[in-house]
């Protein structure tokens, strides 16, 4: 029967419905994606580990499971890529460093357990920057090989952008979901800190580390994230709470036209002229639905506070790499660990206090809007030799632990994507995703008229 032309580029929700009804079988879908991977991987270099036979074996088992008549999971048969800092039992997890080459975990990370329970088809492990930090990986941007796909979830963003998988797992400690999604022209969703457990995920800075997802649209991100959210007793950042209905929230649509707060942030001058113009034009098009907010002065210190937290905790979490493999670390990682080791404890502890201070100010903004509108990155993806890009438009929101969503709304003059970022109130993830869907539809209507 085969897979219809164009179906591989459909959203995850469309694919899930076809798989659930039997209009599409897992084996057919898996073979189609494997063919896409074979055609593009030599140029994109998104995969750290991939075994086609392992994919085929899973697909056959999933088809047999559905044929048995038993209830299927929320992600039944959907191919998913997993960032190579997330433990997978029996599958190499090298954390982007030669120090861990050949490392094969004995157990799955909590998120992988949830993926399997939901019936996802785990395609393989995607390339990450060294220890999920800033040293560039081998992955290229699928839209332009000369440009960076971002970091550190480079392989995950690139795999979705190249149509190799409909969904991919990433993580963010500064901007490693939002920024790569912007550079690769896909949707990236970083949920509220603590929404998704991190057991079995490489810890870099536990006060900041957040598991996020890549998809082709907000519905796919909602479907994927909803299957992963939940309390994990082994991750103190999570807590027992009613399970969110993210997908149904998005599909229900906004009950009223949402309001947006245009926040330039104290780092506005770091945005390219094209990005500033694109954001301003969108705000103008939104008219009365969008108002401008100037953040209070303390926000100018937020990124420095986030960096202090990240470097101090990174030095602690990566101590064993420093002790037993220092000569194999990149200069960027060596410098980061040295800076973390030199930070006074008082500065680190004081930086942690900024989370509550900043969120107190944000609450006043969220009383007036559904989401904050701001750049997802300074502009289009830079050339690869310039690094993985600047996370300054992301780190503030990672520090504040708010949910953030990249939408591929803009195109630079060189034809490469620029992403808008929506930020929501902590815990209001469904509303943020729903607002993102509304904004995508608004922009599409505006362009048609």
**Cα atoms in the 13 Å half-sphere on the side-chain side of 137:** 34
83 as an active site residue: the answer is: yes
How do beta strands 371-375 and 260-263 pair? parallel
What are 411's strand-pairing partners? 417
Residue found under tokens 């034009």: 281
Q: How far apart are CA 326 and CA 329, in angstroms?
A: 5
Strands (E), 225-264: 260-263
Q: Which DSSP category does 200 fall into?
A: T
User: Which of 83, 137, 144, 190 is labelled catalytic?
Assistant: 83
For 234, phi then psi, to 5°, come to: -90, 0
Whether 152 is a known active-site residue: answer yes
Concerning whether 270 is annotated as a catalytic residue, the answer is no
Element (H, E) at 275: helix 273-286
Listed residue (253, 229, 254, 252) closest to 241, CA to CA: 229
**Of 137, 144, 153, 176, which residue is the catalytic one?**
176
Residues 6+ apart with CB under 8 A from 175: 150, 377, 389, 391, 393, 394, 395, 398
Measure the CA–CA gap between 184 and 174, rounded to whole angstroms.
17
**What CA–CA distance (Å, rounded) separates 326 from 188?**
33
| H or E element in which residue 374 lies | strand 371-375
Which of 152, 153, 156, 207 is the catalytic position? Answer: 152
Active site residues: 83, 152, 176
């Amino acid at each position: 029967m085969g897979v219809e032309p164009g179906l591989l580029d459909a959203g995850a929700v469309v694919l899930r419905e076809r798989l659930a009804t039997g209009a599409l079988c897992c084996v057919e879908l898996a073979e189609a994606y494997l063919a896409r991977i074979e055609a593009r991987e030599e140029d994109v270099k998104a995969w750290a580990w991939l075994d086609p036979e392992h994919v085929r074996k899973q697909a056959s088992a999933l088809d047999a499971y559905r044929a048995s008549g038993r209830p299927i999971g929320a992600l039944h048969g959907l191919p998913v890529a997993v960032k190579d800092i997330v433990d997978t039992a029996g599958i190499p997890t090298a954390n982007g460093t030669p120090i861990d080459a050949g490392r094969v975990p004995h157990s799955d990370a909590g998120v992988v357990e949830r993926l399997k329970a939901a019936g996802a088809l785990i395609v393989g492990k995607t390339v990450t920057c060294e220890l999920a930090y800033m040293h560039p990986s081998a992955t290229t941007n699928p839209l332009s090989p000369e440009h960076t796909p971002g970091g550190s979830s480079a392989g995950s963003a690139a795999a979705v952008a190249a149509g190799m998988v409909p969904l991919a797992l990433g993580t963010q400690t500064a901007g490693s979901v939002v920024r790569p999604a912007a550079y690769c022209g896909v949707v990236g969703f970083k949920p509220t800190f603590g929404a998704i457990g991190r057991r079995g995920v490489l810890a870099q800075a536990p006060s900041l580390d957040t598991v996020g997802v890549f998809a082709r649209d907000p519905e796919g991100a909602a479907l994927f994230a909803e299957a992963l959210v939940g309390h994990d007793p082994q991750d103190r950042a999570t807590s027992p709470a009613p399970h969110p209905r993210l997908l149904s929230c998005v599909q229900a649509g906004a009950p009223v036209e949402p309001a947006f707060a245009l926040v330039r942030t104290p780092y506005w001058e770091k945005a390219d002229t094209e990005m500033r113009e694109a954001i301003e034009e969108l705000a103008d098009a939104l008219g009365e639905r969008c108002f401008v907010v100037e953040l209070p002065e303390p926000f100018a210190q937020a990124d420095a506070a986030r960096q202090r937290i990240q470097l101090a905790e990174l030095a602690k979490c990566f101590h064993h790499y420093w002790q037993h493999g220092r000569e194999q670390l990149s200069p960027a990682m060596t410098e980061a660990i040295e800076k973390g080791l030199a930070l006074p404890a008082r500065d680190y502890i004081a930086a942690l206090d900024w989370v509550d201070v900043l969120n107190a100010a944000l609450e006043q903004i969220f009383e007036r809007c559904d989401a904050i509108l701001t750049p997802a990155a300074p502009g289009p993806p830079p050339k690869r030799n310039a690094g993985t890009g600047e996370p300054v438009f992301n780190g503030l929101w990672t520090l504040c632990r708010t949910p953030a969503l990249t939408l591929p709304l803009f195109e630079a003059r060189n034809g490469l994507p620029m992403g808008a970022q929506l930020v929501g109130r902590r815990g209001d993830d469904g509303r943020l995703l729903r607002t993102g869907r509304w904004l995508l539809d608004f922009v599409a209507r505006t362009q048609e008229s």
